[in-house]
């Protein structure tokens, strides 16, 4: 195979479909990542077949998404009611169907397997051995990292996942990390070979998430029922302990206590739906808002498509990302590309995405008092906020899906070189 001949990739995203709406259930930044990467790979000449588990009988088995990108809805287990924790029991069925799909084509149909999340990595490892092509794997999140920074009341990741991740790390020819920090975590926590870890930053769709004119921002506010002088503190993402929307609400309560004069202008939209352990108590965040006596300023908004989400970013005074961990922090990147300052937890990939004091503020703790001070600084100083907004746009230029796709193809080529080298040394 020549250096540039990556003609077709089998991309495996077992536990969440790239066709699902991000912001609820198990759909989030990884869904966006898979779709956007596949789209840009296709535009650059590499076709992509995405294999995911069918969650409805109404889904067609094969769905063309755009030229060069096809989603395969694989039947494995019941369509509904199967939690992510129960999916390991369906790995064999899913893997069999993926192998069967490839068997319908001439040998060498796929050049690379690229799996996303550990469950997909288990299937990818089997496909790698059967097809004789390299396995490239993206973790997205890691059990050992999540368990080290567990939110209060959240459920630890099970040991079965830890073991499964260790197996995938050992099986993959190359591991893609979103940031330098994630690369170090793979090496230090999972004993990954440093020579097989590549850092490839995710991107942002700058056609959707872009700077708006003052008139466009004013229209975005009017369309959402927000006043011109409203101080809009936006949370976007899945409602679960890991994402820590409760930290934002507690900080807002403290901000209101410190600065009661701001209350009449404050609006806190929470855009997203329950997910993960948050499904066990779907009304918990609304109950907390009432308990904190800020339910008059909090507004719950169901998950929205990306163009609508871009409008929310444009309407925001700032975007809060208080997560306990993020492998990258796509919401922060999208917000910055939209010209919104970000106040984020100084964890994981957020320390790469957000430049502290330039495109936003990084908060070292999850204490409501510290978050209230950071929020207050941004909302009460218009000149400082404008500087951060300018810095946000500048910071966002580092991240593009076109660059992500080009770098990913280089990783695919390197993975091929590694397995050729291994074959020669056997």
30 assigned to a ligand binding site: yes
70: helix, strand or coil: strand
Q: Is 90 annotated as a binding residue?
A: no
106 labelled ligand-binding: no
Q: Is 161 annotated as a binding residue?
A: yes
Whether 308 has a binding-site annotation, put simply, is no
The b/e string for 90-101 (b: 16+ C-beta within 10 A; e otherwise) is bbeebbebbeeb
Burial (CB < 10 A; 0-12, 13-18, 19+), residue 104, is: exposed
What is the distance between the alpha carbons of residues 301 and 305, in angstroms, rounded to a whole number?
12
- In 3D space, the residue among 215, 170, 168 whose CA is nearest the CA of residue 193 turns out to be 170
Residue 326 known to bind ligand: yes
The phi, psi pair for 182, rounded to 5°, reads -65, -35
Whether 291 has a binding-site annotation, put simply, is no
- Residue 316 among known ligand-binding residues: yes
Bridge-based pairing of strands 360-363 and 135-138 is unpaired
Residue 190 counted as an annotated binding residue: no
- 21 is an annotated ligand-binding site residue: yes
Contacts of 235 (CB under 8 A, 6+ apart): 245, 248, 268, 269, 270, 271, 272, 319, 320, 321, 322
Place of tokens 């106040």: 343
Neighbours of 410 (CB within 10 A): 15
SS3 state at 39 = helix
Q: Is 304 one of the annotated binding-site residues?
A: yes
For residue 85, say whether it is annotated as part of any ligand binding site: no
273 is in an annotated binding site: no
Q: What SS3 class is residue 174?
A: strand
Number of H helices, E strands in the chain: 15, 14
Instruction: Confirm or deny that 8 is annotated as ligand binding.
Output: no
43 is in an annotated binding site: no
Return d(Cα 224, Cα 193) in angstroms, integer: 49
408 labeled part of a ligand binding site: no
The reply to whether 184 sits in an annotated binding site is no
> How do beta strands 62-66 and 69-74 pair?
antiparallel
412 is in an annotated binding site: no
The angle, 0 to 180 degrees and rounded to 10, between the axes of the packed helices 368-380 and 382-396 is 100
Residues of each annotated binding site for UDP-N-acetyl-alpha-D-glucosamine: 21-22, 29, 238, 243, 304, 326, 334
Residues of each annotated binding site for Mg(2+): 313, 316
Residues of each annotated binding site: 15, 21-22, 26-31, 84, 117, 141, 161, 238, 243, 304, 313, 316, 326, 334
Residues of each annotated binding site for 1D-myo-inositol 3-phosphate: 15, 26-31, 84, 117, 141, 161
């Amino acid at each position: 195979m020549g250096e540039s001949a990556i003609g077709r990739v089998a991309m495996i995203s077992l536990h969440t479909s790239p066709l699902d709406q991000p912001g609820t259930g198990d759909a989030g930044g990884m869904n966006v990542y898979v779709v956007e990467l596949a789209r840009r790979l296709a535009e650059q000449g590499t076709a992509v077949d995405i294999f995911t588990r069918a969650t409805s009988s109404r889904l067609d088995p094969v769905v063309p998404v755009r030229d060069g990108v096809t989603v395969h809805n694989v039947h494995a287990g019941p369509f509904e009611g199967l939690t992510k924790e129960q999916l390991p029991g369906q790995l064999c069925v899913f893997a069999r169907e993926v192998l069967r799909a490839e068997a319908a084509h001439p040998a060498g149909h796929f050049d690379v397997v690229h799996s996303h999340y550990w469950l997909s990595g288990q299937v990818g490892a089997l496909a790698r051995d059967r097809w004789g092509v390299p396995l490239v794997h993206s973790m997205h999140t890691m059990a050992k990292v999540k368990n080290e920074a567990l939110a209060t009341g959240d459920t630890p990741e099970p040991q079965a996942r830890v073991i499964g991740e260790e197996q995938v790390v050992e099986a993959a020819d190359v591991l893609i990390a979103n940031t330098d920090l994630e690369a170090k975590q793979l090496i230090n926590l999972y004993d990954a070979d440093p020579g097989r870890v590549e850092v490839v930053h995710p991107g942002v769709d700058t056609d959707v998430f872009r700077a708006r004119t003052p008139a466009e921002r004013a229209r975005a506010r009017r369309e959402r029922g927000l006043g011109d002088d409203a101080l809009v503190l936006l949370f976007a993402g899945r409602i679960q302990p890991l994402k820590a929307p409760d930290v934002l609400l507690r900080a807002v309560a403290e901000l209101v206590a410190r600065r009661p004069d701001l209350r009449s202008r404050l609006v806190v939209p929470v855009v997203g739906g329950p997910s993960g352990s948050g499904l066990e108590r779907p009304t918990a965040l609304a109950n907390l808002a009432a308990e904190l006596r800020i339910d008059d300023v909090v507004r719950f908004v169901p998950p929205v498509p990306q163009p609508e989400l871009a409008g929310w970013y444009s309407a925001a005074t700032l975007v809060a990302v208080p997560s306990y961990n993020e492998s990258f922090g796509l919401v922060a990147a999208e917000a910055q590309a939209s010209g919104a300052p970000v106040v984020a937890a100084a964890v994981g990939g957020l320390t790469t995405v957000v430049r502290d004091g330039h495109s936003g503020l990084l908060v070292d703790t999850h204490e409501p008092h510290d978050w209230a001070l950071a929020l207050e600084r941004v909302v009460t100083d218009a000149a400082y906020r404008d500087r951060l907004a300018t810095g946000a746009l500048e910071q966002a230029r580092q991240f593009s899906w076109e660059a992500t796709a080009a770098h990913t193809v280089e990783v695919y080529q390197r993975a091929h070189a590694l397995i050729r080298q291994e074959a020669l040394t056997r």
